[in-house]
Amino acid sequence: MAQFPALSPSAAPITFGAVPVTTTSSLSGSESRIRHGTAEIGRRLRLTFENVSESDFLAILGHYREQRGGFDSFGFSTTTLAAALTPSGYAWLYASPPQVVDEHADVFTVACEFKAEPRGLVVAPGDAWRSFFSTFTPGATSNGIVSAAGAAWVTSSTLFRPGSTTTNPPDLELLMNGSNNSSTFINTGTSGAGVTPYVNAKISTAQSVSGGSSGYFDGSSYLRVANGSWAAYQGVAVKVELDFYAISVPTSGEEFVGLISKDNYGICFGWGILLYSSKISVLANDTTWSLDCSVSVTANAWHHLIVESSASGGTTVTLDNAVISPANSVRFTNCNADITVGCLSYNNPSYFFNGYIDNVSITRI
């Protein structure tokens, strides 16, 4: 999520929104109101920056262009806007292009209008989007407003993909959102397991699938997610999902790099997902490669990967929305090991990935 330039506005009037409510009236004249969520929608903000330099004006204009004319959400620094003015779980969007209100002696007065609303309510197949609705109790009454009893809303930490049938929340979820060069990675999955970056793993705004940023791995860096009972995947159906952008891919049959693994080197091996000879491979249960797919991975391009391991055995691999039949079947097994992203084996890290990774999740299905 890119951040607006850190400029102090001379004026910042805000128009507050309201929660979504449907009002109906009966023939007797009584009125019923149904609340469809607890998150405020329709909040507007107009920021005016007086006497800014040409470079600052161009920085504002450049940020607007980076946000694809307002379609991408972003954050404000505390220099620009106090955190209290942003509804929890929401991000800002441009409501209109920046406007030059006045110009003299190479200084500008610039006005920008923004809105804080849910985004991505309609998406194309393959797109990733987030719902920013807050949770609430269906059927509950508050201040005379009844929450719709059959509504199925979700928390702001849920990542959706069109066509997904998964109903369980992810145990591990790394959305890779943050400011450029940040070394803070947050697991928003239900496990709450901590994430530790090693060497030079960091957030980068140079590439992303959603949220304006991704995790960057320079060929010697990786993330380690603490192990726990949440990661005991033996005998259960598991889905591992991620987006990756390889700056370089191994071309020789003797070369491979790790995308994500659960491996305690020399003690136990649960499973690993790799690039092997420019293709996707899955290793599990100390067996041979479960997949040596015929579809090559292209460097310098985003790929969406799903690997599903059934409870009874068997592996399904989907690359860029195309299902690939594995060469043989394996089953993910439990291993007392941390999860690693960007390499294989947490206690003997090796086979490092060079590129960007986004939207990592592990879900019981």
One domain for residues 262 and 173 = yes
Of 55-59, 75-79, 213-217, 358-362, give the lowest mean pLDDT range.
Answer: 75-79
CA 56/CA 5 separation, integer angstroms: 8
Domain count across the chain: 2
Residue 69, SS3? helix
What is the pTM (predicted TM-score) of this model? 0.58
Residue 177 domain-assigned?
Answer: yes
Which H or E element spans position 361?
A: strand 354-364
Residue 206, SS3? coil
Token pair belonging to 229: 């009972």
Confidence grade of residue 270 (pLDDT, cut at 50, 70, 90): confident
Residue 147, SS3? strand
CB contact set of 128 (below 8 Å; sequence gap of 6+): 159, 160, 161, 209, 210, 243, 359
Residue range 235-249: mean pLDDT, rounded? 90
Residue 86 domain-assigned?
Answer: yes
Residue range 3-24: mean pLDDT, rounded? 84
One domain for residues 246 and 350 = yes
Which of 113, 130, 147 marks a domain boundary?
Answer: 130
State yes or no: pLDDT of 175 exceeds 60: yes
State yes or no: pLDDT of 288 exceeds 70: no
Residue range 12-27: mean pLDDT, rounded? 78
pLDDT at res. 159: 45
CB–CB of 359/344 below 8 Å?
no
One domain for residues 286 and 344 = yes
Q: Domain span at residue 185? A: 164-364
CB–CB of 226/187 below 8 Å?
no
One domain for residues 226 and 80 = no
> Which is more confidently placed, 151 or 239?
239
* φ, ψ of residue 98 in degrees (nearest 5): -60, 140
User: How high is the mean pLDDT of the chain?
Assistant: 78
Which of 130, 148, 174 marks a domain boundary?
Answer: 130
pLDDT at res. 210: 81
Residue 263 domain-assigned?
Answer: yes
One domain for residues 183 and 116 = no
CB contact set of 165 (below 8 Å; sequence gap of 6+): none
Residue 24 domain-assigned?
Answer: yes
State yes or no: pLDDT of 275 exceeds 60: yes
One domain for residues 82 and 198 = no
Q: Tell me the CATH number at 196.
A: 2.60.120.200
One domain for residues 95 and 202 = no
State yes or no: pLDDT of 190 exceeds 70: yes
Residue 20, SS3? coil
One domain for residues 233 and 315 = yes
One domain for residues 206 and 122 = no
Residue 63, SS3? helix
Q: Exposed, middle or buried: residue 26 (CB in 10 Å: 0-12, 13-18, 19+)?
A: exposed
State yes or no: pLDDT of 12 exceeds 60: yes
Residue 232 domain-assigned?
Answer: yes
Kindly give the pairing relationship between strand 195-198 and strand 222-225: antiparallel
One domain for residues 311 and 267 = yes
One domain for residues 262 and 119 = no
Of 139-143, 247-251, 291-295, 319-323, give the lowest mean pLDDT range.
Answer: 139-143
Residue 9 domain-assigned?
Answer: no
* φ, ψ of residue 207 in degrees (nearest 5): -140, 150
One domain for residues 109 and 226 = no
State yes or no: pLDDT of 201 exceeds 80: yes
Q: List pLDDT tens digits, range 289-308.
A: 455 566 789 999 999 999 88
Residue 2 domain-assigned?
Answer: no
CA 222/CA 260 separation, integer angstroms: 10
Q: List pLDDT tens digits, range 55-108.
A: 999 999 999 988 887 777 787 888 888 766 766 556 788 999 999 999 888 899
CB–CB of 3/75 below 8 Å?
yes
Residue 139 domain-assigned?
Answer: no
358 closest CA partner among 206, 234, 233:
206
CA 353/CA 342 separation, integer angstroms: 5
